[in-house]
Amino acid sequence: METPLTPLEFARRTRKLYGDRVGVVDGDLGLTYEQFFDRCDRWSSALQGMGVRKGDRVAYIAPNTHQQLESFYAVPQIGAVLVPINFRLTAEDFVYIANHSGASVLCVHPDYVGAIEGVRSQLETVKHVVVLGDEYEAALSRAKPAFQRPEIDENDLLALNYTSGTTAKPKGVMITHRNAWMNVMDTLVHFHITVDDVYLWTLPMFHANGWTFVWIITAVGGRHICLPKVEPARVFDLIRSEKVGWLCAAPTVLISLANAPADVRGDVPRGVHVVTAGAPPAAATIERLEGEFGWEVTQVYGLTETSPFLTICEPRPEHRSLSASELAVIKARTGVEMIGAGELRVVDENGADVPADGQTLGEIVHRGNVILKGYYNDPEATEKVMGDGWFHTGDAAVVHPDGYVEIRDRIKDVIISGGENISSIEVEGVLLRHPAVQEAAIVGLPHEKWGEAPFAYVVLKPGATATEAELIAFTRERLAHFKAPHGVTFVAELPKTATGKIQKFVLRKGAAAIVRQ
């Protein structure tokens, strides 16, 4: 009597129970769930008409539109594998991912057709390029809703999600139907999202399958509000007009919302639930969103390779007596294992658990049902991170006495100055409490006395002023002096990946080779 664990099962149930409810809004377009799934079925039929069969790859380059959302149902329900590509990459990256994944169909939003036209001859396996506009709609209108539905095993591939590839070629993360189903259910255990809820797509759907919210919101019969481009004014407008109750965002997006001018924000509705991940959020950002906006911010942690969530930072009853600033510090931690994610440990270089003292650094390792099947066509990379039976995240963290884990850095970003470990995240969190600072990044640069030392790159708020000496003094007053930056460079913006992560290797590469005291 067993049936495979797959997020496609959520579509079946929601179509049956909530088919007449508006499930997807994209600008002026509103689709009931029945209309939405009819479109998915027709696209499944059209893909099969192009020769797509079980196991074939179908790639997409698109922002958060209803056509992109349809791909998360139309492609996997015919047993094909979805390849959602970061649309902010270069044409060269598009070619690499399409060829490496072996995509036979490439669906492209009109905004990115120009990039593809220039490299069309280099796409080795792509037989069909479909523009997600009139061409797509015409194919839907011609297709019949009936399609051949193959048997799907829960361990079949659902998606190939390519990592950002900031220091090497991107790797294809193999996510199975079971992986995705587990993350959906685990998220719904911790977040009480219901049929009445409205979700705003401030997170790119291509990023780890939209953290599986492409299926989570559908599972409960909630409403998706598509947002192709994140602009603070548009975000606040949609929150008001669509009565949005939930959104996901990287900390950099939250910073832009928290620091939006009053005339951009307008009246900010209270009670919005924010799920944040991708990098540890600063306590100052959480404090402002919760204290001034009346929103509820919850940090989760994971990686593309973990489907993606592993931990959640849920406040405990004993935290209710804390002040807003004290609670924000707790909520900025990485948190505890999610109920269904599996086992998480923080281990030293010998594989032993670090003491729960809030001080001793180790690497986060994990095993459970959300871990990737492996890296596509890359057994060496798979063996490197999973060979001992644990998935090695590359994240350096401590464990507090109450069991809460707190990431201090990527292992490669920990600064070792004069034999002392310095967490760039800790220093950044202090800088973000300065009233003039909008964004900050700390990197270790070579130093002739200390080996390396922390240096800051800072983006100031519009109209604000601050000096290098002022910011250094500000951090020295709040941290051990050796953790304070030795220098501050003011920049207009910080280099980031498409998912909002600061590219510290770019900052290190552009800095002077030797910085003298």
Q: Does one domain contain both 100 and 247? A: no
Using the 8-state DSSP alphabet, how is residue 379 labeled? H
Query: Is 51 within a domain?
Result: yes
The parent domain of residue 421 ranges over: 414-510
pLDDT of res. 28: 97
CB-CB contact of 374 with 174 (8 Å): yes
pLDDT of res. 417: 84
pLDDT digits (tens, 9 = 90+) for 116-143: 999 999 999 999 999 999 999 999 999 9
Q: Does one domain contain both 362 and 487? A: no
Q: What is the mean pLDDT of residues 442-450?
A: 85
Proportion of the chain above pLDDT 70, given as a percent: 97
- The H or E element spanning position 136 is helix 134-142
Q: Does one domain contain both 405 and 446? A: no
Q: Does one domain contain both 325 and 254? A: yes
Q: What is the mean pLDDT of residues 474-486?
A: 92
For 450-463, the DSSP string reads TEEEEEEEEEEPTT
Residue-wise burial string across 429-457, b where 16 or more C-beta atoms lie within 10 A, e elsewhere: bbbbbbebbbbbbbbbbebeebebbbbbb
Q: Does one domain contain both 144 and 239? A: no
Which of 361, 385, 410 terminates a domain? The answer is 410
Query: Is 185 within a domain?
Result: no
Integer-rounded Cα radius of gyration of the chain: 23
Q: What is the mean pLDDT of the chain?
A: 93
Q: In this model, does residue 510 exceed pLDDT 50?
A: yes
Query: Is 301 within a domain?
Result: yes
pLDDT of res. 170: 87
- pTM tops 0.85: yes
Of residues 453 and 271, which shows the higher confidence score? 271
What count of Cα atoms within 13 Å lies in the side-chain half-sphere of residue 493?
Answer: 7
CATH of the domain at 153: 3.40.50.12780
pLDDT of res. 446: 83
pLDDT digits (tens, 9 = 90+) for 276-324: 998 778 888 999 999 999 999 999 999 999 999 999 998 899 998 999 8
pLDDT of res. 449: 78
Q: In this model, does residue 516 exceed pLDDT 50?
A: no
Q: How many whole angstroms separate alpha carbon 110 and alpha carbon 108?
A: 6
> In the structure encoding, which two tokens stand for residue 92, read together?
């060269």
Query: Is 428 within a domain?
Result: yes
Q: In this model, does residue 218 exceed pLDDT 80?
A: yes
pLDDT of res. 202: 97
pLDDT digits (tens, 9 = 90+) for 354-397: 999 999 999 999 999 999 999 999 999 999 999 999 999 999 99
Q: Does one domain contain both 495 and 475? A: yes
Query: Is 384 within a domain?
Result: yes
Dihedral of CA atoms 174, 54, 69, 494 in degrees, nearest 10, equals: 30
Query: Is 433 within a domain?
Result: yes
Query: Is 316 within a domain?
Result: yes
Distances (CA, A) of 285 to 199, 235, 329, 470: 21, 17, 10, 21
The three-state secondary structure class of 298 is: strand
> How many structural domains are present in the chain?
3
CA-based max dimension of the chain: 72
Q: Does one domain contain both 347 and 443? A: no
Q: What is the mean pLDDT of residues 20-33?
A: 98
Q: Does one domain contain both 332 and 276? A: yes
Query: Is 34 within a domain?
Result: yes
Q: What is the mean pLDDT of residues 485-513?
A: 81
pLDDT of res. 252: 85
pLDDT digits (tens, 9 = 90+) for 256-265: 999 999 999 9
Q: Does one domain contain both 386 and 493? A: no
The three-state secondary structure class of 182 is: helix
Q: Does one domain contain both 400 and 251? A: yes
Which of 387, 410, 433 terminates a domain? The answer is 410
Q: In this model, does residue 216 exceed pLDDT 80?
A: yes
Which of 365, 389, 410 terminates a domain? The answer is 410
pLDDT of res. 418: 77
pLDDT of res. 513: 33
Q: What is the mean pLDDT of residues 467-490?
A: 93
pLDDT of res. 11: 98
pLDDT of res. 517: 32
pLDDT of res. 165: 55
Q: Does one domain contain both 395 and 267? A: yes
pLDDT digits (tens, 9 = 90+) for 44-54: 999 999 999 99
CATH of the domain at 459: 3.30.300.30
Q: In this model, does residue 349 exceed pLDDT 60?
A: yes
Question: Hey, how many other C-beta atoms are within 10 angstroms of the C-beta on 142?
Answer: 11
Q: Does one domain contain both 163 and 296? A: no
First to last CA, the chain: 70
pLDDT of res. 499: 67
